[in-house]
């Protein structure tokens, strides 16, 4: 079952006395072949779980960095067929978990059951569907279970305990805590209270809890690792892609270097 890859990744990290490192890239940014090479470079550099964004024209939860990444991917011709090719090519080279970061329009546009079947067959392990709350997710959850896909849900700083209980009941794979209000994007400092928020979520679930949004330095990764089961880095990596978009052949090595740098402080704990 695909979810076993997610569970195995967290179990491996725990056995090594560390948090899992989860990296985000927008699929197809800046082009299909480079995106495959970039994904594999990150996984080879020590990333435990790869989160691949499905490019979307209206990514409401994303800051400018990830909006521009989606624009680059779409401009390069990324569509569902090519995204599935990307997934297949990455899956052929790794057994590490691949989680899709997506929006519900993209999931249902080609038929819910058919889309999830295609994602599963291409090698996906789970979905983080940003704009589908658990109250509206019955069809998504049923189709995901039928296809062996985990459903990751988000808890925000403003989420009250009663709603956390509702969210984690629907979740599988892991729970994603958004460390700050607003959209994605690298930040200089982490907000206060992340440890308390993670502890509150853990009161309601045995699932791993990861923290994302704003994590951009080795110190951030290490700090998150002291209180959570995983740290998610997205915009800081997507910025590397953007900085090298004119010379895409440099992107895989530059991303691997960035990932190793981010992991440095965490691995020194």
Residues annotated as catalytic are 51, 62
Instruction: Please give the DSSP secondary-structure letter assigned to residue 248.
Output: G
Q: What stretch of H or E contains 50?
A: strand 49-53
Closest CA to 211 of 22, 61, 60: 22
**SS3 call for 230:** strand
Report the alpha-carbon distance of residue 217 to residue 220 in Å, rounded: 5
Listed in sequence order, the residues at least 6 apart from 64 whose beta carbon sits closer than 8 Å to its beta carbon are 185
Asked if 263 contacts 46 with a C-beta cutoff of 8 angstroms, the reply is: yes
Both tokens of 122, joined, read 């291409």
Instruction: Please give the DSSP secondary-structure letter assigned to residue 179.
Output: S
């Amino acid at each position: 079952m695909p979810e076993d890859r997610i569970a195995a990744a967290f179990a491996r990290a725990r056995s090594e006395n560390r948090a899992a490192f989860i990296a985000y890239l927008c699929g197809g940014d800046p082009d299909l072949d480079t995106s495959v090479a970039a994904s594999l470079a990150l996984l080879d550099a020590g990333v435990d779980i790869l989160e691949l964004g499905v490019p979307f024209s209206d990514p409401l939860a994303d800051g400018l960095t990830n909006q521009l990444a989606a624009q680059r991917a779409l401009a390069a011709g990324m569509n569902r067929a090519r995204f599935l090719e990307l997934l297949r090519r990455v899956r052929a080279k790794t057994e590490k978990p691949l989680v899709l970061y997506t929006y519900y329009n993209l999931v249902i546009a080609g038929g819910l059951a058919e889309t999830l079947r295609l994602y599963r067959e291409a090698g996906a392990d789970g979905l983080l569907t940003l704009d589908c709350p658990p109250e509206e997710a019955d069809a998504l959850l049923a189709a995901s279970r039928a296809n062996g896909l985990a459903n990751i849900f988000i808890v925000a700083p403003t989420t009250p305990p009663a709603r956390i209980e509702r969210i984690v009941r629907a979740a599988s794979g892991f729970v994603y805590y958004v460390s700050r209000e607003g959209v994605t994007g690298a930040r200089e400092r982490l907000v206060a209270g992340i440890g308390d928020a993670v502890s509150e979520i853990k009161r309601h679930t045995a699932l791993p809890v990861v923290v994302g949004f704003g994590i951009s330095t080795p110190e951030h990764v290490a700090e998150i690792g002291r209180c959570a089961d995983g740290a998610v880095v997205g915009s800081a990596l997507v910025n590397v892609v953007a900085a090298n978009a004119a010379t895409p052949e440099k992107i895989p090595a530059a991303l691997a270097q960035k990932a190793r740098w981010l992991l440095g402080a965490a691995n020194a704990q």
